[in-house]
Amino acid sequence: MPLPDPTHPPREEPARGRRSLPLSGVLPAVVLAARHAYELYHPPRSKPGRSPRNKNLPMREFTLVTSRDRITLRGWVVPGEGAHTVVLCHGMGRTKSSTLGHIEMLHRAGWNVLAFDMRNHGESGRDKRYGSMAERYTGDLADVLRWVRADPGLGGGEIAVYGFSFSTWVSLSVLKRLDDRLAAVICDSGPAFDIKSALREFAALRRSALPRSVRGGAGFAVYRACFGAFCEHMLAVREWPPDLSRFRTRLMFIAGGQDFVVPESQIAPAAHHYPDSERWTAPNALHMNALRFDREEYRERVLAFLTRSFDGAGPADPEGPQDKKVDIHG
């Protein structure tokens, strides 16, 4: 079953009153919720999308094998004129091709850009696992960042991470997994402060495609509750939001003013957890498309933030971030 389109709001079903479901009605809702929860982290394989070559950008492909469980990750490196590198992490159910507009924007600004398919997405390997997905995705990003630091063509400058939607959780959490400092993290269309409620709300995006018996009333209530519980169990987040008070990494949070998937009301409490972070709401944007609907201001704010972050990062600290104080400027 295809993942829902986050740019279209869920269709509301007419209220018919809630009636108790017989066991024969509960079981299909539970089974469907379990299957869809698994598909959230293991979406159906998609056809290859466009690459930087379609935009006449220079690129080379790379592969690496994860340190945790030997999953192959595949991605692109788009070299820039400068020494600094921005690592892009796509949203759940998407692929690195969904970041092409951002790749072009960052490349034109002069930076190296790396984009990769997360595990179970695009051209990367698939794990068929049911648990510890937060640890797996975070560990994968840490492996990618170590690869960037070791790559002869990329390792000389500072590094920033740029996450979208689901991967914004990963982009923040990875800071505690690294021995070296990141200059900046940008979180676009996330993260949701209340993970449990965000996962339950995601069930509403599938509502119009559900069988009629599960689409409304008590059937949907069971489906929604079970979907959220299964997703949360599989994700297994250990610390949220992460304590980043020891780090000098600069943070930027971007919300979409019209985003109903992860609304500003969910992102704001997460951003406020980091009082020195920079925050902006793109007034016309839906989920993950502020570059399209608020293009000029989005470009201006993002590029200025990264320029300040790279210019102010200073030399890498060989002893890591463990003794650093907060120095996150907006």
DSSP state of 155: T
Note whether 33 and 139 are same-domain residues. no
Please give the backbone phi and psi of residue 264, each rounded to the nearest 5 degrees, phi first: -55, -35
In a domain? residue 207 = yes
Beta bridge partners of 176: none
Q: Are residues 172 and 274 in the same domain?
A: yes
Kindly state whether residues 228 and 282 are assigned to the same domain: no
Residues 80 and 205 in one domain: no
Q: Could you read off the pLDDT of 92-121 as tens digits, one per residue?
A: 999 999 999 999 999 999 999 999 999 999
Residue 78 structural domain: 59-193+241-312
Looking at the structure, tell me whether residues 215 and 225 fall in a common domain.
yes
The reply to whether 33 and 100 lie within a common domain is no
pLDDT of residue 24: 56
What is the model's pTM?
0.88
Question: 194 in helix, strand or coil?
Answer: coil
Q: How far apart (Å, rounded) are the C-alpha atoms in residues 295 and 308? A: 20
179 & 224 share domain: no
Q: Does any domain span residue 169? A: yes
**pLDDT at residue number 48:** 85
Q: Express each pLDDT in 270-323 by its tens digit.
A: 999 999 999 999 999 999 999 999 999 999 999 999 999 999 864 443 333 333
- What's the distance, Cα to Cα, between the start and end of the chain in Å? 41
Residue 142 lies in a domain: yes
H helices of 162-294, where? 166-173, 195-202, 212-215, 217-235, 264-272, 290-293
What is the rounded CA–CA span in Å between residue 136 and residue 274? 25
Task: Please give the pLDDT value at position 7.
Answer: 58
Q: Is residue 222 part of a domain?
A: yes
Last residue of a domain, one of 219, 235, 251: 235
Which residue stretches of the chain have pLDDT < 70? 1-25, 313-330
Q: Are residues 111 and 251 in the same domain?
A: yes
Query: Do 63 and 158 belong to one domain?
Result: yes
pLDDT of 321: 36
Q: Closest by alpha carbon to 80, among 300, 317, 303?
A: 303
As for how many domains the chain has, the answer is: 2
User: 1-5 — which CB contacts under 8 Å span 24+ positions?
Assistant: 1/36, 1/39, 1/44, 1/206, 1/209, 2/44, 3/39, 3/40, 3/43, 3/92, 3/93, 4/205, 4/206, 4/209, 5/205
Same domain, 151 and 215: no
In this structure, are 138 and 209 located in the same domain?
Answer: no
pLDDT at position 296: 98
Report if residue 3 sits inside a domain: no
DSSP letters for 287-309: TT-HHHHSHHHHHHHHHHHHHHH
* CATH for 147: 3.40.50.1820
* CA pair distance 100, 49, nearest whole angstrom: 10
Assigned domain for 324 exists: no
* pLDDT for res 200: 87
Q: In what order do the strands lie in the sheet with 250-256?
A: 60-65, 72-78, 112-116, 85-89, 159-164, 184-188, 250-256, 278-282
- 200 with 189, same domain: the answer is no
Provide the β-strand partners of residue 188: 164, 254
